[in-house]
Amino acid sequence: MEITDLHVRFPTPDGTVTAVRGLNYSVPLGRTLAIVGESGSGKSVSSMAVLGLHDPKRTEISGSIKVGGRELVGLPERELMRFRGAGAAMIFQDPQSSLHPFFTIGDQIVESYRAHHSVSRRVARARAADMLDRVGIPNPGRRLDQYPHEFSGGMRQRAMIAMALVNDPKLLIADEPTTALDVTVQAQILDLIADLQRDFGSAVVFITHDLGVVAEIADEVLVMYAGTAVEHGTVKEVLGTPVHPYSWGLLESIPAVSGSSGMLHPIPGSPPSLLAVPSGCAFHPRCEFRDRVPAGRCATDQPEMTGAAHLSRCHLTEPARIFDTEILPRLP
């Protein structure tokens, strides 16, 4: 998948919101990109746009979204629907949003398989049972005939993953898929996604605010702030030697990291409203390093993403300080 200069805007009663502003990234097959940022940073909206899960009449999308070389921006709804499911799939925090309460788990997986494969119900059912087995649900034959409410939260999450992967998508987008689960189940689901990715070879975009999860599952990290990327690099680069002041703030606000000194260091202030993104560097009202940049440029000029492989969007030419690189191994 390759995203170039993506913008997503939609009207609200208070004015037009620009939820994504000039986003660029790519994820090759077999790799996992984690997108992190506070809520309202545009991480979910940008991914919904990739799958066309927005109201086309009310949303304005510009730029380019290519999956397997195919341009999705401007594709008619019918073709987008065909692409979804076969080419790409999404799993959410809440399985209720993708599992229908009135149909059995089996029927739902069978339907989504048959929507893209002309096979008999019997063949599709065998495939569905195989998928439940792959995601670690015991007695798949019996489980197929049960309804979502007969599954535990962790099982529903597994069933949703089975449904997302039944058509062997090239791209899997996981939006906070483990946030609602307890720690043990969360670890199992993360392992499962990593295993399935190895088997299926998909590109995975993993949206989360949990940097411990990032350290566990991702190859690369993209940090988003106010609708755009502010830092992008490998997990080792971004979590080990972050260069953007916002990334420093995110890392310092993890309890497990600051725990040793007994101090939690939250980022002051809150994310900006996307109705009125600050001028210059969108992070400048909250940045404790803005005075190090001459001529008040932080408030007037938007920095570009710069760097060779490890990219950052900041006017500071030298990092204002060296981050405590001890931080990476101490992540949970």
Q: Which residues in this chain contact ligand SF4 in the complex, by CB under 6 A? A: 245, 281, 283-284, 287, 289-290, 293, 298, 303, 314-316
List phi, psi (to 5°) of 73: -70, 125
- d(Cα 329, Cα 10) in Å, to the nearest integer? 41
| Binding at 32: pick from Mg ion, ligand SF4, none (beta carbon under 5-8 Å per type) | none
Site string for Mg ion, 44-73 (x = CB under 5 A): x-----------------------------
Cβ(150)–Cβ(174) below 8 Å: no
In whole angstroms, the minimum distance from the beta carbon of 43 to Mg ion comes to 6
- Residue 12: burial class (beta carbons within 10 Å; 0-12, 13-18, 19+): exposed
In whole angstroms, the minimum distance from the beta carbon of 313 to ligand SF4 comes to 7
Strand arrangement, sheet containing 60-67: 15-26, 2-12, 60-67, 70-71
- d(Cα 285, Cα 88) in Å, to the nearest integer? 38
In whole angstroms, the minimum distance from the beta carbon of 206 to ligand SF4 comes to 25
Cβ(49)–Cβ(65) below 8 Å: yes
Nearer of residues 93 and 108 to Mg ion, judged by Cβ: 93
| Binding at 196: pick from Mg ion, ligand SF4, none (beta carbon under 5-8 Å per type) | none
| Binding at 44: pick from Mg ion, ligand SF4, none (beta carbon under 5-8 Å per type) | Mg ion
- d(Cα 13, Cα 234) in Å, to the nearest integer? 39
Nearer of residues 179 and 253 to ligand SF4, judged by Cβ: 253
Query: Does position 18 bind Mg ion by CB under 5 A?
Result: no
Residues at the site binding Mg ion, with contacts judged by CB under 5 A: 44
